[in-house]
Structure 1
Amino acid sequence: MDAQELADLLAEVRDGTLPADDALTRLRRLPYAEVAGARIDHHRALRTGHPEAVYGPGKSPDQCARIVAEMLSGGSGPVLLTRAQPQQVTAALAACLGGAVHRPADRGSGRFGDGAQSAESLVTVVWRSADARSERVVVASAGTSDGPVACEAAAVLSAFGVSAHRVADIGLAGLHRFLAEVDTLADADAVIVVAGMEGALATAVAGVTAAPVIAVPTSVGYGAALEGVTALLAMHASCAAGISVVGIDNGFGAAMATMRVLDLAARCRREDV
């Protein structure tokens, strides 16, 4: 339940179109409901502007299905099932098919965080996608092996109505490839930069755009890359001012950080009108 839904609920009670007992039944789901060993945070969108997501790894297919069903029945939207394995997707769709959109990860060799399953078989499933928004967000990745993390970020943005512009394979080892996209980066409202190895792409992007830059280190790289630690530290140590850095392989976190920036800007525009 978000702020608008709560306001509508109270208005219905005030107008007499919804019995108070029915409203109380719905409000009992706040702030959480216990389902399948999890406490579903129905109150999160009301507090933060965005609902919680369902993280697939470590959950059984039945848990995924029951949690998604509870979130949908409680009015949450968008509802995301992230990094889901085929069995989890099948179970969730069997329970909650209507309106679901599959967003498979790009092919790539990255470990995608948990290291337990290749990224190619993991997907993000979305129910109740938000209405389209006008902001221009670029998701730029250094190499094709960074694709799964970039795809996750783009899928999460899409769930919230932002159609990300993907720019792939512009790592600095081929500087001409990066320079060919400078105008695209400069025109963005926000840029998510996904890079492994030494993570240098984030510094280069932050040097050519005034937009907020959210950097995502990936676990792509040879031994000295230390499964993403080298890129993580390099991004934190960047000489380009103002870069924000999320955890290794955290495309979801980068997208949600971007949504907070975009939502704040949208609120400021509304208040200025």
Structure 2
Amino acid sequence: MSQTQAPIDEVLDALSRGEIDQAEARERLLSLQARPLGFATLDLDRPRRCGAAEVIFAEGKTPEQVVAIVRTLREQGGCVLATRCTDEQVAMVQSAFGGNDQLLVDALARTIIVGDPPAPADAAPVCIVTAGTSDLPVAREALSTCVAYGQPAELIVDVGVAGLHRLLGRLDTIKRSSVVITVAGMEAALPSVMGGLIEAPIIAVPTSVGYGSHFEGLAALLSCLNACASGIATVNIDNGFGAAVMACRINALAHPNTVEAS
């Protein structure tokens, strides 16, 4: 997702060489801020403002719309991440870009990365921990996001509180991280337990996994919000992407001598 200021530099260089006048330079610079596609208006200035390019939320979009957005974002440089993709959307993206671009598809996470992701930063990995195997789709969405943002990540699976010894056996690995994402459904006790065991900030992701009246993840969400342990922030149900973006930003701040590729 890394994007440089090359398009802006090209406009300024052309202006300084007298190849274009101020009016044309102004028009070109404005065109770099947003790109209307009829069905969407892409925010091309986001890397400068926020340090990260726009990510495609594919749900509800047609395969043709996803391809058009990918194509426009790829023109700006860097890789492009699309989340919540259908099989049809993935197939059309593969057909449109598979010949020229590297494609990283995670069918379980429903993500696709188009183009070469940045090399992982020289930093401690973001640790993504799931309570159960059923939480893997959300956890892998977080993992794909870390890959696209150029932050190293490690996935630890199925260490929920139903067998607490499994979590304790991985604590040495978890404690090496600057930030931990916990992904848990049902009663979502994992982030509370983790909050009493580690120093790093925790981002809790409640999932819509559970028996009976879990209310599609609402029970897990309320558990995370009401955690008695400190140092826990909670994102919305199944929002692995949002948790990973926050984790990548924290990780970049925790390792200021590295460059966040985002």
- Aligned partners of 2:11 and 2:28 also within 8 Å: no
Could you report, residue by residue, the CA deviation over 1:2-50 in whole angstroms, capped at 9, with x for unpaired residues?
A: 564466446634764x944686565232321111400011011111101
CA shift, 1:204, in A, is 1.5
- Give 1:51-90 correspondences, 5 Å limit: 51-73=53-75, 75-90=76-91
> Cα gap change, 1:71/1:259 in structure 2, threshold over 3 Å: closer, same or farther?
same
Judge conservation of contact 2:34–2:43 (CA < 8 Å) in 1: yes
1:8-47 equivalences under 5 Å are: 8-9=9-10, 12-13=13-14, 16=17, 19-20=19-20, 26-47=28-49
Question: 1:48: which partner in 2?
Answer: 50
What's the CA shift for 1:70?
0.9
Q: Secondary structure at the match of 1:139?
A: strand
- Which one of 172, 190, 200 corresponds to residue 211 of structure 1? 200
Over 3 Å counting, the alpha-carbon distance change for 1:242 and 1:9 in structure 2 is: farther
Q: How much is the aligned-residue C-alpha RMSD, in angstroms?
A: 2.5
- Partner in structure 2 of residue 134 of structure 1: 122
| Residues 233 and 71 (structure 1), Cα distance of their counterparts in 2 relative to 1, 3 Å cut | same
TM-score (norm 1): 0.84
Q: Is the 8 A contact 2:121 2:258 kept in 1?
A: no
- Unaligned 5+ segments in structure 1 are 107-118
**How many Å apart are 1:149 and its aligned residue?**
0.3
Q: CA deviation at 1:105?
A: 4.1
* Shift, 1:169, TM fit: 0.3
Question: Conserved in 2, the CA contact under 8 Å of 1:217 and 1:235?
Answer: yes
C-alpha contact (below 8 Å) 1:65/1:93 kept by paired residues: no
Question: Which of 112, 119, 122 matches 1:124?
Answer: 112
In structure 2, list runs of 5 or more residues that go unmatched.
none
Q: Secondary structure at the match of 1:84?
A: coil
Which residue of 1 is the match for residue 92 of structure 2?
91
Q: Indicate the residue corresponding to 1:101 in structure 2.
A: 103
TM-score (norm 2): 0.87
Hey, what does 1:115 align to over in structure 2?
none
Greater relative CO (CA pairs within 8 A, separation 6+): 2
Kindly provide the amino acid, as one letter, of the partner of residue 88 in structure 2: Q
C-alpha displacement of 1:213? 1.0
Q: Partners in 2 of 1:177 and 1:149 — Cα distance?
A: 20
CA contact (8 A) 1:36 1:67 kept: no
